[in-house]
Amino acid sequence: MPSSPSYQQHLSEGFAGWRLIVDGAVESPLALSLTQLARLPQRTQITRHDCVEGWSAIGQWTGVPLKFVLDAARPRRSARYIVFHCADDFDGIPYYESVDLVDGYHPQTLLAHSLNGARLPVGHGAPIRLRVERQLGYKHAKYVMRVELVDSLADVGEGRGGYWEDQADYEWYAGI
């Protein structure tokens, strides 16, 4: 559970004032509320979550395909990667993860707001989390607050593109 005062404030207000920031290498930066995200085309899918630790679970996820958010922001030609900045942290290091535009535009890649027919609970990443079904679970960032498009991963964290990639030497591409 994120402990930052801003996340706690959003949680206490039922995320009414929360906005997903979409910026970086885009032509049209965005600040989208949950209501605005819900107005975009939605997708529901039943998929298996595979963890690098060896466990798996099946869930029904509903959310907006990331493609529609990216299209609204209009990525610049130079954009190659999508970085997800999250509200949680590990030992004071804010959590972040990234995927390339190919995975970002895949039809199963969602910004999920619901799990098993109910609003996404805090334990699963409320208000939204990334579902990138072609990759292992550590790529499925929870508590997403900002989506940043970048040309290179060199300036993201320690340059490997994600918290676990930088801190535990996990592979950047975690395909399943």
Q: What percent of the chain has pLDDT over 70?
A: 100
Confidence of residue 38 (pLDDT cuts 50, 70, 90): very high
Confidence of residue 173 (pLDDT cuts 50, 70, 90): confident
CA distances from 96 to 14, 77, 80, 87, 113 (A): 23, 23, 16, 9, 18
Q: How far apart are CA 107 and CA 71, in angstroms?
A: 13
Which range has the worst mean pLDDT, 5-14, 49-58, 134-143?
49-58
Q: How far apart are CA 104 and CA 135, in angstroms?
A: 12
Assess whether pLDDT exceeds 90 at residue 20: yes
Mean pLDDT computed over 26-53: 95
Strands 93-100 and 20-24: unpaired
Are 150 and 80 in contact by the 8 Å Cβ rule? The answer is yes
Q: What is the pLDDT of residue 176?
A: 78
Torsional sign, CA 118, 122, 126, 129: negative
pLDDT tens digits for 21-31? 999 999 999 99
Assess whether pLDDT exceeds 90 at residue 175: no
List, in order, residues 6 or more apart from 118 with CB less than 8 Å away.
Answer: none
pTM of the shown model: 0.96
Which residue reads 């990234």 in tokens? Answer: 98
Strands 56-65 and 81-90: unpaired
pLDDT tens digits for 47-94? 988 888 888 999 999 999 999 999 999 999 999 999 999 999 998 999
Which residue reads 């989506």 in tokens? Answer: 147
Q: What is the DSSP letter of 120?
A: P
Assess whether pLDDT exceeds 90 at residue 171: no
